[in-house]
Each structure stands twice: as C-alpha cells, then as structure tokens.
C-alpha cells in the first residue's frame, strides 16, 4: 500500500513538473513574441514621427498621427548621441515635472530592459537619435504568470499530499484500533477461565499465597485488556486523584524493578484532582517509567513531582538514566507515540521532554486539565 501511494505521488509530482515546465516554455514564447511586436511598434512610431516631421501630405500626416496615438502603453524615451532627452512618451507626467531625476532614472531602467533602436533623424548633417523603450504591463504580467502558477501548483500538491498522508494515518489508526479491540476481546475468554481456576484453588487449603499472587496477575491482565479495549474510542473521563494513581503505579513498578532503583513521589497536596481516565493515565505512567528503567541499567532513581496549578496539573517524571542527545530528541516519542496520543488527543493535555542531558537523565512533563 505504501509503495502504491509513493508511486502515485511520484507520478502526480512528475505530471505537475511537466505542466509547470510546459507553462514556462509557452510563457517564454509568448513573452518573446510580445517583445518582438513591441519593438516593431516602437520602430513604427519612429517612422511615423519622422514622416510627420518631413511630410506635408494629409494622408501621410493622418496615418502618422494614428500610429503615434496608438502607442499608449509602451514607455519610451528618445535621446541624442550625447544622451540628452529630446522626447518621451507614456511616462508619469506628474513625476516628470516634480522629480528632478525621474527621467534620468527611468532612462537607466529602460536601457536595462531592451536594446535601444537607432533613429536616423537626418542624413546631412547626419544625426542619430536613440529610442529606449520598456516593457508593457501585458509583457510583465506574462512573465510573472509562471511564478504565480508555480506557487499555486505547489500549494495544491502540498495540500493533496497532506490530505493523503492524513487519510493514510487515519486508516492505519483504524487498523491498529481494530487489532487492539480484537486483542482485548480474545483475552476475555482465557481470563474468565483463569478466574474459574482461581476459585478452585481458593477453596483448597494451603494455596493462600499462590492465590494472592495469581489474583494480582489476573487483575493485571484484566487491566491490560481494558486498556486495549479503550483504544480507538473516546474514553470516559472522570474526576480522579493523580497522587493516588502515581502512588499505585510506583508500587506496581517497584515490585518489578531491580532493588537498586529508588522510587519517590512528591506532590503539592495530599490529593490532586484531574479529569482523566485512570486506566489510560496509568498506562502512560507505566510506559514512561519502563522507558526510564531501560535507560538506567539497573541502578538509579525515578522521581515523580506533581504540581497543582490554577488551571492545570503538572506532573514531572524524572530519571537518572543515560539521557537523550539533542540529535535523538525528535525520535524520543517514536516508542511512546501511544502515550503522547493518550495525553494530547484523549485528555487535551501535553506530554513532552522538559529536560534531558546525556549522562545525567531525562525529565518528561505531562500536563492535564484540573478536575
């Protein structure tokens, strides 16, 4: 499925490149064609101006005036061989009269846009003028059009890729949620059987310690089954004591951790209430503490600090493990993606790395709304 999506994306991206390249080529063709036409119009203006100055025939004068009047969009400046301005057309008359260097600056700009045309004003003595002309608004729009189109195509491709990625992620989430619910369902049958056998053992004398330990493990399996059953569905949030949840999870982890691991929990108050799903928050704490245990290699400490603030409750889970390098900070939630989703999507909270230093440990911070 991933390969099909990638191939489809590659094909779409290639098609977009072909479209943009084709547009650029055709736009360049149009720009060159417009430039040639405008150069021809400037040449016609020169001939018309020259004819108007030399001819006395009414038809020639009328035709020359028509050609001159039709040139209403090409900015141009005519200069003599010394560079003195002798005529101009289609410039801002207000700026010409009010700004001293306007004609000079405009002439420099026009010289950079097009090669000037020579205008032989007279043969004896020979006088040659130069006509500098610029680009019309149409030509500028044609040149900028590919940039606008490229931006729009790029935006469309980015939105389409984002949409496809979101849909794929949603499909994957649905698959995982379905597998989790099926796992929870499959665990139900052996759990029921184990509970029956536990009652049989309970009725037999001499199995008290064994029954107690088996009952703990069965309750743990039931908790795991309940957690898997909640994946993919909106959990029922309730007012619960975060201090109690943290204490119970520390007691559970302490029994399964090496003796040289020290656990502690500090809170601003004896009871700190949050609106949450106790089962899922326990799961998050268990994952974070297991992650800390893996980083400590059998020796160190795990400390939980709970701060009750005005609108939220802040919980810091600090360990004395190996720490996380700056290069690996972006990957830290890859194995903890479910924990992050539980906190941020299901509880509208935050879960992030507050601080980490190689060789000294890591502190995760979890923020939950107050109860």
What is the pLDDT at residue 262? 93
Model confidence over 18-32: pLDDT tens digits?
877 887 788 888 888
Q: Looking at residues 308-321, what average pLDDT do you find?
A: 93
What is the pLDDT at residue 263? 94
Question: What are the sequence ranges of the domains in the chain?
Answer: 2-135, 141-228, 235-369
Model confidence over 332-371: pLDDT tens digits?
888 888 889 889 988 999 999 999 999 889 999 999 988 6
Long-range contacts of 329-337 (CB under 8 A, 24+ apart): 329/353, 329/356, 335/291, 336/287, 336/288, 336/291
The winner for highest mean pLDDT among 49-53, 178-182, 200-204, 317-321 is 317-321
- Whether pLDDT at 196 is above 90: no
- C-beta atoms surrounding 12 within 10 Å: 15
**Gap between the Cα atoms of 233 and 173, Å rounded:** 11
What length is written for the chain? Answer: 371
CA within 13 Å, CB half, 286 = 20
Query: pLDDT band at 1, cuts 50/70/90?
Result: very low
Model confidence over 31-88: pLDDT tens digits?
888 888 888 888 877 777 777 766 667 766 667 667 667 777 888 888 888 888 878 8
Instruction: Give me 84's structure tokens.
Output: 């003195």
Model confidence over 229-243: pLDDT tens digits?
666 666 788 899 999
Q: Looking at residues 159-181, what average pLDDT do you find?
A: 71
Q: What is the mean pLDDT of the chain?
A: 81
CB neighbours of 96 closer than 8 A, spacing ≥ 6?
Answer: 88, 102, 103
pTM comes to 0.50
What is the architecture of the domain spanning 235-369? 2-Layer Sandwich (3.30)
- Whether pLDDT at 256 is above 70: yes
């Amino acid at each position: 499925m991933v390969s099909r999506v990638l191939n489809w994306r590659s094909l779409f991206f290639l098609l977009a490149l072909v479209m943009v390249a084709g547009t650029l080529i055709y736009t360049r063709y149009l720009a060159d064609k417009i430039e040639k036409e405008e150069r021809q119009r400037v040449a016609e203006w020169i001939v018309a101006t020259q004819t108007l100055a030399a001819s006395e025939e009414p038809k020639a004068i009328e035709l020359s005036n028509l050609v001159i009047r039709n040139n209403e969009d090409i900015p141009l400046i005519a200069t003599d061989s010394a560079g003195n301005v002798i005529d101009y057309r289609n410039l801002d008359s207000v700026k010409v009269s009010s700004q001293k260097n306007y004609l000079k600056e405009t002439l420099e700009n026009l010289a950079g846009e097009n090669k000037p045309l020579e205008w032989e004003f007279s043969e004896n003595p020979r006088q040659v003028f130069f006509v500098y002309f610029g680009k019309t608004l149409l030509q500028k729009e044609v040149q900028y059009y590919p940039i606008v189109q490229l931006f729009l195509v790029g935006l469309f491709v980015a939105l389409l890729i984002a949409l496809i990625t979101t849909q794929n992620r949603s499909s994957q989430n649905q698959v995982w949620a379905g597998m989790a619910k099926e796992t929870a369902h499959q665990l139900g049958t052996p759990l029921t059987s184990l509970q029956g056998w536990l009652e049989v053992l309970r009725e037999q004398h001499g199995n008290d310690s064994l029954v107690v330990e088996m009952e703990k493990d069965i309750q743990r399996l039931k908790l795991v089954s309940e957690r898997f059953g909640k994946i993919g569905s909106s959990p029922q949030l309730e007012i619960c004591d975060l201090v109690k949840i943290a204490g119970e999870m520390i007691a559970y982890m302490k029994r399964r951790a090496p003796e040289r691991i020290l656990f502690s929990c500090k809170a601003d108050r004896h009871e700190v209430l949050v609106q949450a799903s106790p089962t899922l928050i326990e799961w998050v704490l268990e994952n974070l503490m297991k992650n800390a245990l893996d980083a400590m290699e059998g020796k160190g400490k795990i400390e939980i600090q709970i701060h009750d603030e005005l609108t939220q409750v802040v919980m810091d889970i600090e360990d004395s493990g190996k720490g996380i390098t700056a290069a690996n900070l972006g990957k830290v939630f890859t194995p903890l993606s479910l924990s992050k989703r539980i906190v941020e999507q299901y509880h509208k909270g935050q879960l992030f790395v507050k601080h980490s230093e190689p060789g000294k440990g890591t502190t995760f911070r979890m923020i939950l709304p107050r109860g």
